[in-house]
Structure 1
Amino acid sequence: MHWRKIMHSLKTKLLLIFVLLSFLVSLLVGGMDFLHFKKNIDQNLRTSLSNTANFVEHTLPYNSFASYVKAIEEKSSTSMDYRNFMGQYAMDSGIAFLYLVTQDGDKVPTIEISNFMEEEQLIFWESPAKEALLSLAENKIYYSEPYTDEYGSFISIYKPLATSDGIPAVIGVDLDVSYVKSLQKESIIGFMISMLIGVGISILLSFFFASSITKPLSSLDKELRHLAESDADLTIRIHSKSKNEIGKVAESFNAFATKLQDLVIQIKIAIDDTDSIKIAISDSSDQTSLEIDKISDNLDGIREQLEILDNSLSENTAVIEEVTQNIESVDQQIISQSAMVEQSTAAITQMMASLSSVNMVAQNKKTATRALWEVAKEGKERIDQTASSFKSVVEYFGQIQDMTKTINAIASQTNLLSMNAAIEAAHAGDSGKGFAVVAEEIRKLADSAGTTSKSIATLIKTITDSVMNTEKQVTATSTAFAQINEEVSDTLDAFSEIEQSVSELNSGGQQILESTNQINSVTVSIKEGSREIQTGTQSMLDSAIRIKEASGAVTTRMAASVKAASDIQVSKKTMIDLTKKMNTIIENLKEQFSQFKTG
């Protein structure tokens, strides 16, 4: 229980919070420093590798992989001096290996630039680094990630070399990073030590700050306990010399206690004043009760007279309403009769208008039918003339056919003569050649005339057939026009009969319209008289209803007044009971507030 109390104390919680915050801050700062240190080391390693590769590129006395290999194999003084020079440079710079790499099919030949490994011959890289292959393939600089093999821990750069023979080659530089890893381990150990020291210091500072916060709180807790254990003593105050927030809390509590003390004093004074008010309320309640009894008696008498008046108004209103209903029934019948008369008048007027329209249409159609009969008659005459003309045309075409037969016979005779002339010209020899030419032309002319005559004969036969067909159609049309004339004549007679019947109907409709107008005039007069009677009875009914409503309103208000008087009586009794309860409460308040010590 003692340890649990310690763990739940404010001082322990504040101490744990400060220690945790210090540990997190130390961890954050140390982690950031370590990452910055690692980033700087990586940047410096890449810079060193890049500078070495650039130095090799600018100092290499050969411009291709093959020329360098050849110089090494021949052990030229230039290549040996350069290897020794680069070996010394590698030792001074911390470089492990310097070499050239190329690719020959599936093989990766390589040769050392420096004399660090004392290798003076071409070797083939069995498991080449992927960065070296990418640099050869893409002609770009590639850095490898740190790696470890049987020689140690290294990081490498592969930089393309500009060759004169076009065969790609790269410069490889391996840097030993074993020393760098040892530095990283030492930095981690230093970081852990510094963090532990920082945590220890933070624990001491946290203990000091927690004590400075909890000590005034403990003092304030003692003062509040003393105030709680005292017997309603409002004169007790908290004494605190602290000027921080805890001291302000103590000052605020003292100010609250002072205001509470003044409030209790005012409540005691108010309780003493309520005794005199209680006596005055008791006397006023008795006088009010007597006056309310008188008002109740007067209201009962007025309510009885209003009930009598209300019954009389109800009887008169019922009689007026019955008369009004009878008048409304008569008025409704008159309105119905007037509506039917108006509908009949409108129907007759419309019927007469329709008859007039029918009569006009019949006259127009009769005129149009007569004109149609005349046109049909004229058409038949012209068709007959056309048929006669077609017969003349047929006769003319017969004469033309005879002419074409004559022309055809003449062409045959001419052709025969031309043949005889040609025979005679042939008998005549050279002297008859001119006559033979003329005879040939005559024969051709005869053939042409015969052909044309046959074409004309064929065309005339076709035209003759068409004309004969047309003559038949004209004859049929003439027969149709004769039938049309008969139908039009019958239609003309029918329109004459319709015109006579419509005239008789129009005369009868005019007489019916005059009768309905007289009935309508009488109905309007009756309707106006009924409306005046209805207006008078409605005014009487409205007056009676208003009087009844006024009487009902007065009755309702009288009932409300009676109820209000009754409610006042109840309220009076309730007020007396509440006054008694208030007396009891005031006595209790006096007893309770007398326990507070205010001075």
Structure 2
Amino acid sequence: MNSFFSIKFRLYLLMAVFITNSLIIGILVNSYLGIINRHWNHYNAAVVDTEVYFAQLESALGYGGMIHHFKNYILRQDAEYIEKGNISFESFNLSLDKIYSSPELTSEEKTHLEIIKNTMTEYRNALLSAKNLYDQGKTVSETDSIILIDDAPALAAFTWFKENIKQNKEFFHDELSITINKAIYQTVIILIITMIFFLIFAFWILSSITKPLLSIQQITDTVAKGNLSKKIDMNKKNEIGSIANNFDAAITSLRTLVKSVKISSNGSQEISENLNSQMVQTASAVSEISANIESMERQFEKLTDSIGTSSSSLEQIVSNIESLAAEITDQSSAVSQSSASVEQINASIKNVACIAEMKIQAAGNLVVIASAGEEEVSSTNSLITDTSKSVDDILEMINIINDIASQTNLLSMNAAIEAAHAGDAGKGFAVVADEIRKLAENTAENSKRISKTLTHMVNNINETLSLSNKSGLTLANINDEVREVISAFEEIARSTVELSSGSNEILSSSNHLNEITESIRLESQEMNIGAKEINKELKLIKEISKNSLSGIKEIRYGSNEINQSVNFIQEISKENTENISKLIQQISIFTT
């Protein structure tokens, strides 16, 4: 940045001009004060001091002085008055010497001083002569007739001095008044010229500051309304230009951020809609799994009842094995019925195994969907976090603008104070300072509005991030629950395989019994042993059936929990969709 174009340099230059003007005025005033001081000193030397010394001369000679002491001595012949006369004579000579030492003393004044001095000398000599006459025995009237002094010339000299001092006073007063008026006139003219120059220079400086600030204010008003498509485009190589460029960069970053947030919000909305759709499908599939599990539970209960019935029948056969020889035909029919029941059980077991395989595959697909949803939620969280950081950066820029506005406001207050000190001459400068203060306040107000809007955006983004994190945790829980369901279905499949194997063995045994019906009479004991083995196998099958039924109930319980989790995910997904819609609505106020 060129230092000549910087605001700091211009303000320093304005201060330098102000200080220079003040120095010029101070030097001028000091010069005239020196002239006035010299005139005053000259006046004191020529008039005031002379008047004081002249009054001392008059006092030493006149009443209370030499003449007064002379007359008292003539009348009273007291030596005290001779001593007082000598003191008055010495005081007179001291004052006279001071008057003679003045360089301003004229020859005419010296002539009149000589007259007064001679009169004083005559009175002193007369005082000494009167003493001698009294010592010789002269009377008062004789002494008074002998000593005759004409003091009329001295009185005329005193009168002339008084008139001359009066004229000197008038002369010096007029001369001093002319000098003071001249000094005031010239000082006022120079002050007016320098103040005009200073005001023109100050107006130029302040105009170069206020015009760019007004342009910035117009753009900030537009930005405060949400229009981010405007730029300042100010080519200034000073602090205001730097602020304008930084503001343009901030608006560009904000515009990019808003575009990114809009795109991300739209993408999040689409993901949320897809997630809602998947959750609906998942809920439907879970409901179907629950229905199938309930059906399997009922079938296993029937199977358990059938096995219990078969076991009772087989025990009856064992107890009546010896009487079965006579009723072989009935036993053959019973064996045929048992074979049919075993075939039905075997078909049911195969059906259960097929359903378990299908549900394992469906649960695996659900795991894949939940994992994909979890990854999407993680990506959304990262994008929302980046958006929040970008908004924080913008808030820091807004704080910088607030600091600059505060400093500008402080500068305007200082300028207003200086203008108030300047009095009427600073009224124009005060108006400019007030405009700068208003501009700074408007800038601070707009920055606060932008900061408030961005803070509201950050709160919404943080709320969305929190909900998205909850969605991710819920999907992770779904993953775990579905894996448990898959494990349960695999256990069912293994159990059905064992049941199928057992039923096949039972069916094979039944067929073998049907084939050897004719030889049962001879092998009744072997049949008894076989019946016991069959009873044992039926008890084993019954135990397996009970375990399978217990597993089905646990699967049904897990399926209900999955269904509740899916419903909870659906509610969170709807809430997430509503939050994204609110975010899109709030971002839509910005024009990019």
Q: Calculate the TM-score normalised by the size of structure 2.
A: 0.26
Which of the pair has more CA radius of gyration? 1
Higher strand share: 1
Higher helix share: 2
Q: Which has the higher contact order (CA 8 A, sep 6+)?
A: 2
Q: Calculate the TM-score normalised by the size of structure 1.
A: 0.26
